[in-house]
Amino acid sequence: MAADEQGYVFKITREEALETMKMLEDPLYAREVVAYINAARAAAQFLADEEIQYSFCFAMSFSATRYPNIVLKAGGLPRILDAMKKFPKNIRLQAEACEALRNIAEMPDGADTLLSTTALEDVMNSMRMNAQAEWVVQEGCGLVCRMITESDDARDRLFKGEGLRIIMDCMEAFPRASWVALWGVQALRRFAELDAKRVQDAGAFDLVQRARTSKVFAKGCLAVRNATADCLKLQSRGCDNSAERFPALPKVPSRSRQTSVTSCPLESTPPAWWLKGQPRQVFRSRAEAELLSQLAVLLMPDEPIAEAFRDFPVKKCKDWGSSRLCPDFAAHGVLKATGAALFIEYDGYYRHMEPPGMARDMRKTSALLQFAPAGSVVLRIAHKERKWKDNSMQVLVDCWHSGNAHSLRRTLQQVVASLLRQCHAQLVPRLVSQLEVCAPLQIAQHARTFAEDAELVGAASENNLLTLQEFFQKEMQLSTVQVAKSIERFPSVLGLSIDANLKQKVEWLKGLGVSQSQVAKVIATHPQVLGLSIDANLKPTVEWIKGLGLSESQVTKVIATHPPLLCYSIHANLKPTVEWIRGLGLSQSQVDKLIAKRPQVLGLSIDTNLKPTVEWIKGLGLSQSQVVKLIAKAPQVLGLSIDANLKPTVEWIKGLGLSQSQVAKVIATHPAVLGYSIHANLKPTVKWVKGLGLSQSQVVKLIAKAPQVLGLSIDANLKPTVEWIKGLGLSQSQVAKVIATHPAVLGYSIHANLKPTVKWVKGLGLSQSQVVKLIAKAPQVLGLSIDANLKPTVEWIKGLGLSQSQVAKVIATHPAVLGYSIHANLKPTVKWVKGLGLSQSQVVKLIAKAPQVLGLSIDANLKPTVEWIKGLGLSQSQVAKVFATHPAVLGYSVDANLKPTVEWMKGLGLSQSQVTKVIATFPPVLGYSIHANLKPTVEWVKGLGLSQSQVAKVIAKHPPVLGYSIDANLKPTVEWIKGLGLSQSQAAKVIATHPQVLGYSIDANLKVKFDLVRKFFTHAAAAALLAKAPRLWSYRYSRLEHRLHVLSSQGQLSKLTGAMALRTDAFGRSVQKQANERLMEVKPLMVTDVKALGVLSADVRSELQFELCQPYLMRNGFYRVCQHVEPSVLKAIMVECINFTFYRAGEAAFEAGQTAKSAFFIERGTLEYQQNRRTSKVKRKLRVGAHNEIIIAEAALWTFWDYVGTLTAPNPASMLKLDVEKHTKIISESELMGEFAAELALHFRCLCD
């Protein structure tokens, strides 16, 4: 596993790693930096794998010939050096690595880049360890030569080290290797410029002189001779180091290696059949000359290359109707049989694969074998296997890139390997030995030069070439490279007249509407068009294309994008292909669009490409109509290879977890996915999407739903879109959810779709957070057109009567409404809802409250729901009310929600009428989950101690209880009620009698009203009162407060429950009645009623108060002691603490539970005392009168006390009311009486306990 600088972990399988290396040989990926980066990462991951390291070095060597800067940018250099260190004895790996480094050194500043690494040391070490490997030595010399030419530092470092000795050893080891000689001599010259004497003393100039006089380089190796001459000048000048600097090395073609295979002994005299032939002057193709000239060097190194390309005179016969027999290549002396011939035919042209070409090849094989002596062999080289009965031997090789030595060498190795395998027994032993020893093969430079200089069929004179170049460059604006490639692709163009042919065809093409630049492109990419006849080929083809229905502009575009179409035969290619496509089911217009969009389809073979591809696609599970749509939508699929593209892509998609039907759907909806590269597109995209936080199953759904995402660029589309969405405020998980639910958003344009839509939505009044929620909830809104969808929908909703804020709320809560069709969804739904009996204002409220109703189907959802609810017994008005108050019920499923809920309620014991009432009063119950809400709530209520019938009554009386949260509402409320001092059974009774209490807020209702009641009652009395009459909590605070004050003022608090139930006017009449009754009563004269007492002095009044109170207080021992010990204290008590109070019939002096603030002495009349069962063990009424010489509520004088009973005057009575607070204060101010009172209080508490 490897990691990049950012810590990104890169992990692939071994097979994928090898495939990644192979990709770099494909021109499609030659300039893709990502492909190089992936290769470097793969090499880092599999550092110990020798095959992968070799493949990587091979790929880097191949790529560095054209794009060394990309190799460096992708991090290839460190990986090359790692491979060299890891496998120092692997000759092929070392040679490839050295060549890659040499190509990098030829870049600007390339030598300095290598010098900053261990490259120079690694190469020198490789040359030492593989001193007998010519390929390694050759590339090492090339790198050393380049380095010391470009960098003085490199020259000085090598010269001080072992550089001079290693170069000399290489030249001595391989005296026949031209590239070793050339680069070695040039390196020695650079060393000589630095110190010629040391070079002379080492004997290096002797090696240079030996190379100069060698016969090996005497012919065809002018570069070696020139280099040796330049080097020896330094010696002849007395090693003058002031000579001019060695000029920069020319760029040498990659793989230009001189083969050093020892010559095989040939026959002293060529056989007779050979002598009959004559070397030919022209060749049929450049490819033929490139490959076969290299074979000539290998098989007959002592013969001039041109001799292997011979034409032989023969007699015409039935099988061969020509007087000349022209094998592509002929060799003698290489087979054991005396005088036997080895003929090699190169069948790379596609015509050799067609039946007529195969028949001609078989006739030629027969003619060659008849012409040559017995034991002769015909070897046919091709790129595809042919099923035929031919007497030749077949050799299958890869295609190579013209002019690329690297790929040519690989093909040459394949030919030699097949030759050794198939003809081992026929070849002369020494040739077999030499071919086996020289692996890996090297490209012969002089053979390459021969192929480059070879005259092709149809070639013109040098003057013709110059004239043609001038016409192409000046008239057509083609570059020098484009001109060269055009002539290479169509050599016959050299024989065409510029005025009579070329200019006429150029003007004809322009007359079709093809622009100057397009014509130039046609000539550069497919110059064969220039060889076609206007009247016989071009015009009929264009007219036929127009006849299909294509417009002038479409025809122009077809020719500009795919000029080979003009070369196709109408009857043999075009017509049959179009008829076949029509036969699939495509309409004429679809055929026209297909040709206009992808004219290349017309060049595909029906039997080889079209039929197999369509059958294979059908085999995936696509119907005939889906296949037709696929071809009409993405005709390029027809040109993809089943084995190389289609099958691997489909298998990879399946491997993600998609089912067969999902794969079929993906291909049917987005067939272009079949053309995406697994390694360059699919894998990186899926990996990136997973990195957002999507699970494997979500990725599968994404691809099944929106396969077009796989074709988007990560850097140009996906990353910017995701970053923009995040910038709105969405979290990582929200972004992942958006992409998982609506992956198409990844394809929306930020500037054309996303930004304008978000801005428009904000303009409706939505806040930033609401916009974020909208996108997270309904990302599909981002794909709607503002003018065609959003604006009209919003205006229509406003037209119903919704305010701007309501519209904003509708969109914020249910953004999907923006995608509904006004005519297909919105208008019909609103009309239908009105028909239920809802008013316009109710419809407006319905939409504002539950806009999702607008998306429901009238026939599939709304009508069935309404009919079913009516069937329960609800009237039309009740149904209308249900939907007006809770419109969401319209979206509930009858079978999944409504029926089960109603049956469940009936199962609790509710009658049909009760169920109807529940739904009419509380329709939200129909939306609650039975298992998640209803059952747990009922079980919890039962757990309080309520019976099944009580639970049913609770639900029938107050159905909203089913919607309360157990943890948020029910539990806290019950716990709070119990906290008042109520038992479990009392709490249960409260809920059974008044279940509405469970919905009251503790802080806003229960606590506030309980505290209000406590102002008039003790805590226990207040709790008991509310337990007995929990309905008190349901009244408004102001009403409860008012009536408490009124009843308290009249001493009628015991009548609170009944009074609260009275209406305001009834309560007023009751109060008025009691007031009238009091006015009619004869009230005894009290002290406060005697106004004349006000004229008396304070002392006289005090004495009078003392005399009036003394008879009552003297009944109590404490006050008798006080009179004896401190009479002033007793007098103060009587004057300051005692008031004479009159009580009317039925009026209460105090009630149970109230805080005791007074004690009482009865002056006149009789009072009834009734103790509360909760606060006292006494369960009967007591009557006390004036004759009872006791202090009522005496305990309040000595301790903190709450009244435990109620004291009521059944008839008018009067009492002395002793203020407890003032009494305590006066006694505490006397030290003596205070101590006495404390002892008395302690004794009193002991008696109470």
417-452 residue pLDDT tens: 888 888 888 888 888 877 776 656 778 888 888 887
**pTM value surpassing 0.75:** no
CATH 3.40.50.720 fits 1091-1248, yes or no: no
Q: What are phi and psi of 1144, to 5 degrees?
A: -80, 170
Burial (CB count within 10 angstroms: exposed 0-12, middle 13-18, buried 19+), residue 661: exposed
**pLDDT at position 731, please?**
93
**pLDDT at position 110, please?**
84
Q: How confident is the model at residue 1049 (pLDDT cuts 50, 70, 90)?
A: confident
Nearest to 383 by CA among 487, 298, 287: 287
**pLDDT at position 1028, please?**
87
**pLDDT at position 266, please?**
42
> How many angstroms separate the CA atoms of 259 and 300, rounded?
12
Check pLDDT > 80 for residue 1231. Answer: yes
456-501 residue pLDDT tens: 544 434 456 667 778 888 888 888 778 877 877 777 777 778 887 8
> How many angstroms separate the CA atoms of 36 and 31, rounded?
9
638-680 residue pLDDT tens: 888 898 889 999 999 999 999 999 999 999 999 989 888 898 8
**pLDDT at position 689, please?**
92
Q: If you average pLDDT over residues 354-360, what whole number do you get?
A: 81
Rounded (5°) CA angle 1063-1069-1073: 145
Q: Which of 346-360, 546-560, 578-592, 600-614 has the lowest mean pLDDT?
A: 346-360
170-179 residue pLDDT tens: 888 888 887 8
Q: How confident is the model at residue 976 (pLDDT cuts 50, 70, 90)?
A: very high
Check pLDDT > 90 for residue 975. Answer: yes
Burial (CB count within 10 angstroms: exposed 0-12, middle 13-18, buried 19+), residue 1091: exposed
**pLDDT at position 250, please?**
39
**pLDDT at position 697, please?**
92
Contact 1048, 1007 (CB under 8 A): no
Q: Which regions of 107-189 does DSSP assign to beta strands (E)?
A: none
**Tokens representing residue 643 in the block:** 């084995």
Rounded (5°) CA angle 1060-1064-1068: 100
Check pLDDT > 70 for residue 1084. Answer: no
**pLDDT at position 1093, please?**
65
Burial (CB count within 10 angstroms: exposed 0-12, middle 13-18, buried 19+), residue 793: buried
**pLDDT at position 1083, please?**
58
Share of the chain above pLDDT 90, in %: 28
> How many angstroms separate the CA atoms of 681 and 713, rounded?
8
> How many angstroms separate the CA atoms of 936 and 116, rounded?
76
Average pLDDT over the chain, rounded to whole? 84
Check pLDDT > 80 for residue 1075. Answer: no
**Tokens representing residue 1090 in the block:** 């005697």
Q: If you average pLDDT over residues 493-512, what whole number do you get?
A: 84
Q: Which of 869-873, 1071-1075, 1119-1123 has the lowest mean pLDDT?
A: 1071-1075
Contact 212, 175 (CB under 8 A): no
Q: Virtual CA dihedral for 1083, 1088, 1089, 1090, nearest 10 degrees?
A: 140
Check pLDDT > 50 for residue 692. Answer: yes
Check pLDDT > 80 for residue 1132. Answer: yes
Nearest to 1196 by CA among 1222, 1149, 1158: 1158
CATH T-level fold of 2-236: Leucine-rich Repeat Variant (1.25.10)
Check pLDDT > 60 for residue 1076. Answer: yes
Q: How confident is the model at residue 17 (pLDDT cuts 50, 70, 90)?
A: confident
**Tokens representing residue 217 in the block:** 């380089």
Contact 1074, 1052 (CB under 8 A): yes
**pLDDT at position 200, please?**
86
Contact 46, 38 (CB under 8 A): no
Contact 529, 523 (CB under 8 A): yes
Check pLDDT > 90 for residue 958. Answer: yes
Q: How confident is the model at residue 236 (pLDDT cuts 50, 70, 90)?
A: low
**pLDDT at position 623, please?**
92
Q: How confident is the model at residue 696 (pLDDT cuts 50, 70, 90)?
A: very high
Rounded (5°) CA angle 987-989-993: 125
Q: Rounded to a whole number, what is the distance in angstroms from the first to the last CA of the chain?
A: 85
> How many angstroms separate the CA atoms of 742 and 79, rounded?
42
724-760 as b/e: b if 16+ CB within 10 A: ebeebebeeebbbbbbbbbbbbbbbeeeebbebbbee
Check pLDDT > 50 for residue 265. Answer: no
Q: Virtual CA dihedral for 37, 39, 41, 43, nearest 10 degrees?
A: -150
Contact 680, 29 (CB under 8 A): yes
Residue type, 443: I
The residue assigned the tokens 């016409």 is 471
Check pLDDT > 60 for residue 267. Answer: no
Check pLDDT > 70 for residue 1016. Answer: yes
**pLDDT at position 1172, please?**
64
CB-CB neighbours of 807 under 10 Å: 23
Cis previous bond, 491, omega within 30: no
Rounded (5°) CA angle 677-604-514: 90
Contact 102, 143 (CB under 8 A): yes
Check pLDDT > 60 for residue 255. Answer: no
- List C-alpha distances in Å: 1123 to 390, 1107, 1130: 152, 13, 6
> How many angstroms separate the CA atoms of 1212 and 395, rounded?
136
Q: How confident is the model at residue 797 (pLDDT cuts 50, 70, 90)?
A: very high
- List C-alpha distances in Å: 342 to 338, 397, 450: 12, 19, 21
914-925 residue pLDDT tens: 999 999 899 999
Q: If you average pLDDT over residues 1012-1036, what whole number do you get?
A: 88
The residue assigned the tokens 């969808």 is 789
> How many angstroms separate the CA atoms of 984 and 945, rounded?
8
Specify the DSSP class assigned to residue 244: P
- List C-alpha distances in Å: 1232 to 329, 331, 1122, 1198, 1229: 146, 149, 10, 16, 9
**pLDDT at position 1092, please?**
64
The residue assigned the tokens 């919890």 is 940
The residue assigned the tokens 């990587």 is 56
- List C-alpha distances in Å: 191 to 120, 234, 245, 573: 16, 11, 11, 65
183-228 residue pLDDT tens: 888 888 888 888 888 888 888 888 888 888 887 776 656 777 778 8
Q: Which of 6-15, 862-871, 1013-1022 has the lowest mean pLDDT?
A: 6-15
Rounded (5°) CA angle 145-149-153: 105
Domain ranges of the chain: 2-236, 272-456, 458-531, 1091-1248
Q: If you average pLDDT over residues 1006-1013, what whole number do you get?
A: 91
- List C-alpha distances in Å: 178 to 127, 134, 144, 165, 442: 17, 11, 16, 19, 12
Nearest to 998 by CA among 971, 980, 1026, 1020: 971
Question: Which of 378-382, 1102-1106, 1178-1182 is most confident?
Answer: 378-382
Specify the DSSP class assigned to residue 314: -
Nearest to 522 by CA among 476, 576, 469: 476
Contact 923, 885 (CB under 8 A): yes
**Tokens representing residue 722 in the block:** 């995701």
Contact 380, 423 (CB under 8 A): no
**pLDDT at position 1177, please?**
57
- Three-state SS for 268? coil
**pLDDT at position 1091, please?**
66
898-942 residue pLDDT tens: 999 999 999 989 999 999 999 989 999 998 999 999 999 999 999
Check pLDDT > 90 for residue 799. Answer: yes
**pLDDT at position 221, please?**
66
Separation of CA 45 from chain center: 26
> How many angstroms separate the CA atoms of 657 and 868, rounded?
42
Q: How confident is the model at residue 247 (pLDDT cuts 50, 70, 90)?
A: very low
The residue assigned the tokens 């981002």 is 782
Q: How confident is the model at residue 94 (pLDDT cuts 50, 70, 90)?
A: very high
